[in-house]
Amino acid sequence: MSVKTAGTRTAGATLQAIVPPRLWRDRSLLIGAIVVVVVFVAGPLGMNSYWLQASTVAIVYALIAGGAGLLVGRVGLYSLCQIALTAAGSWMALRLGFGTSLPFPVIILLSGAFSAVLGIIIGLPSLWVSGLALALLTLMGASAITLVLTVIHFPNGGDGILGYSETGQGAPALARPLIGETTDGYFRYVLVVAAIVFLIVWLHLKSRPGRSWAAIRQSPASAQAAGVNITLYRVWAFLLASFIAGVAGGLLAATGGIYITQFPVQDSIILLAAVLMAGAYSLWGAVLAALLMKFIGAAFSIWNVPPGLLLMLFGAGILQSLLQSPTGIFGQLSTDLPKLWRRIRRGHRPAEEGRA
Amino acid sequence: MIEIRELTVQFGAVRSLNEVTFEFPMGTCGLIGPNGAGKTTFFNALSGFVKPKTGSVRVFGTELVGMRAYRRARWGVRRTFQTEQAIQELSVFDNVRMVHEQSASGGKGRIAAIGRAIEFVGLASVANKPVGTLSAGERRLVELARAVVGSPKLVLLDEPAAGLPDEETRELSGLIRRIPEEHGALTILVDHDMDLVSSCCSTTAVLDFGRLVAVGPTSEVLRDQRVIRAYLGDEEVAS
C-alpha cells in the first residue's frame, strides 16, 4: 500500500516535521507585501488623473470582488447583492460625513458595520437554501436596497435623517482624509486600506474560519459531522463579505459624486461573472476580476465601445473557465507559470522530447 | 458501550429503521445488511442528520437523541462517509486540524494530538501536502485520521474500504482494529466486504429492511441462516 510505505518511511518523523510553517513565513504573504509596496511607490507615477481615478476605483472594486470571491469560492454561497451593499455603505458614509465630524477611518468602519447588518439580513436565507435559490433571493435583496436608495437619494448635505435636499448641490463627494486629499494621496490611502482588508481576509482563510468554510463548501453534512457549526460560519462569511462591501462603499464615496446609477443591480451579476472568470478561489483572482471589470470598462468608454460588449466578453470568459479552468484565469496562471518557469530553467524543448 | 433502544426512523410512509434495539460493547463492531437495509440511516441517526421518530441512543451513558449534529461531533461522535470528504485544497495537517479545533482546546496539546492522528495512519511524510495531490488510498486515510483525532468516543466508518485494492484494504483493517485500544473509541464499521468485517469486528449486527435480524459474535452471526437468507434470499438458500 503506497500510503503504508509513506508511513514506514517516516516512522521516525518528528512532530516538528509535521507541523506546517508559521503563517508569517507563508510565501503568498511576502509576495502580497512586495506588490503593495511597489504599487504604493510606483503606482501613481506616469498615470494621468483619469487612469489614477480608474485605478483607485479598481482597487475599491478589488475589495468588493474579494468579498464576493470569499462567499462563492470559499463557502460556496452565491450572493448577488455585493454591489447593492456597497451602495448602502456609500450612503452611510455620506450621511455620517455630512452629518457628523467623525474622522474618515471611523466613517469607513461604521459604513462597513451598516452594510454588515444589511448583509446578514439578506444572507439569512443561506441557512436554509443555497445555489440558484440563494442567488435569486440575494438579487431580490439587492433590488430592494437599490429601490430604497433611489427613493431616498444619496445624502448631499441636507437636513433630516436622510440628509438630502432637493435644492442641494448635486452629489458632493465625501471629504477625504488629510493624508489622501490629492488624487495620488487618495490612491495610496485606498491601497493601504485594501491591503489591510485583504490581510484580514487572508488571516481568516488561513485559520479556523477558513478551514471551516472549506469544510462547508466541500459538504455541509460532512462539515457538521466534523463539528462545524454551519449556521455560525455561514453568517460569519456573509458578515465579513458585507462589511468589506460597506468599507468599499465608504471609500468609493470619497472618489467623486455618488449616484444610484453607479450601482445597477446587474453589476452584481457582472461582478460574480468577473470573479468566476478571474478565479474565485484566490484573493489575487479578486484583484484580477476588479482590474478586468474596471480597466476594460474604462478603456471601452475611451474607445466608445458599447458597454454591452463587456458582458459578452465576460460570458465568453466564464465559458472558457467552465470548460478549461474551473479555478479561473488566476488558478490557471498559478499552475501554468511555475511549469513554464521550470521548463525555461531546464532549457526543456518539448519537440526534442517528442522525438526522443 | 452503545445502547440502542427501539430506534425508529420514518420517511413518509417508509420506515427505514423499525424499532431497532441492540447493544454494542467497547471495541470494533460491525453493522451489515443488504443494500437498503438501513445501515446508512442508522449512521445518520447516530450523527444527528435525521431525527428518529422514537427511541434512544446512549453512548457511554450519554443520550445522543436531541443533541444537534455538530454538538455530537464535538462531544465525540465522528464518522466517515461512503464518498470522499477530505478537503482537496487543504493539507493533510489542516484537514485533521479542522476537525480537532472544533471540539478541543488549543495549545501544544492540539498540535500533538493532530500529529498522533497523522502518524497513526502513516501520513507523516505528506502531512503538509494538499489532499488533492494524494492517491485515493491516502485520501481515505486522511478521513480516518480526521475520525480519530483528539478524543473520539464513537467512530462510525461507512464503507471505508470502498474502491481500495485488497492489499490496501488489509492494511486499513489493521488500523481499524487498533482504534479502540489506541484512541479509546467504540468503532462501528459498515461494509459489504465480509472479510474486512470478520477481521475487524468482534460483534456484528445485521439489518434487513430496517429491522434487526441478528446480533452477536461476528463468526456466529455470519453463519446464521437468517443472515444468509437476508443476503441471498429465500429461493437461493433453498436451492
Check CB contact of A46 with chain B, cutoff 8 Å: no
Return the number of CB contacts < 8 Å for A and B: 121
| ipTM here | 0.88
Contacts with B93 from chain A: Cβ below 8 Å:
18-20
Coil, strand, or helix at residue B205?
Answer: strand
Provide the angle, in degrees to the nearest 10, between the axes of the packed helices A82-99 and A131-152: 30
Whether the CB-CB separation of B95 and B141 falls below 8 Å is answered with no
Model pLDDT, residue A8: 40
Instruction: Decide: helix, strand or coil at residue A265.
Output: coil
Q: How close does chain A come to B127, measured CA to CA in Å?
A: 6
The sign of the CA dihedral A114, A118, A119, A120 is positive
CB-facing half-sphere around the CA of B40: CA atoms within 13 A: 11
CA dihedral for B170, B174, B175, B180, sign (positive or negative): positive
A290, three cell numbers: 476588479
Give the global pTM.
Answer: 0.86
In angstroms, rounded to a whole number, what is the distance separating the alpha carbons of residues A282 and A193?
19
Backbone angles phi, psi at B229, to 5 degrees: -65, -40
Angle at A339 between CA A333 and CA A342, to 5 degrees: 135
- CA A157 to chain B, closest CA, distance in angstroms equals 49
* A201 close to A240: Cβ distance less than 8 angstroms: yes
Which range, of A268-282, B4-18, B134-148, averages the lowest pLDDT? A268-282
In Å, how far is B223's CA from the nearest CA of chain A?
31
B99 contact residues in A (CB cutoff 8 A): 226-227
Residues 6+ apart with CB under 8 A from B27: B180, B186, B187, B201, B202, B203
A230: nearest CA partner in chain B: B70
Task: Please report the pLDDT score of residue A17 as a whole number.
Answer: 76
Tell me which of A326 and B106 has the higher pLDDT: A326
CA B96 from centroid of its chain's CA atoms: 17
* Alpha carbon distance A217, A220 (integer Å): 7
* Cβ within 8 Å of residue B212, ≥6 positions away: B20, B21, B22, B205, B206
CB of A280 closer than 8 Å to CB of A193 = no
Mean pLDDT of B152-161: 93
Q: Which helix (H) or strand (E) holds B57?
A: strand B54-59
**What gap in Å lies between CA B72 and CA B65, rounded to an integer?**
9
Q: Least CB-CB distance to B124: which of A17, A222, A230? A: A17
Contact yes or no for A225 and B93 at CB 8 A: no
What phi, psi does B10 have (nearest 5°)? -125, 130
Judged by phi (left if over 0) then psi (alpha if -120 to 50, else beta), residue B61 lies in left
Q: What is the mean pLDDT of chain B?
A: 90
- What is the mean pLDDT for each group of 10 consecutive residues in chain A (356 residues)? 40 66 82 91 84 91 94 90 95 91 95 96 84 90 93 81 73 85 93 96 94 93 93 94 96 88 87 86 86 82 82 82 79 82 74 47
Mean pLDDT to the nearest integer, B30-39: 91
Contact criterion met (CB < 8 Å) for A225 and B121: no
Q: How far apart are CA A119 and CA A240, in angstroms?
A: 9
Residue A212, CA distances (Å) to A281, B75, B118 in order: 15, 17, 19
Q: What is the pLDDT of residue A348?
A: 57
On chain B, the residues whose CB falls within 8 A of the CB of A218 are: 85, 87-88
DSSP A13-82: --HHHHSPPPGGG-HHHHHHHHHHHHHHHHTTTT--HHHHHHHHHHHHHHHHHHHHHIIIIII------H
Closest by Cα among B177, B184, B120, B182 to B152: B184
Single-letter amino acid code for the residue at B136? A
A127 contacts on B by Cβ (under 8 Å):
none
Is the pLDDT reported for residue B104 higher than 80? no
Backbone φ and ψ of B137, nearest 5°? -65, -40
**Chain B residue numbers touching A228 (CB-CB < 8 A):** 70, 73, 98, 102
The secondary element (H helix, E strand) that includes residue B120 is helix B108-120
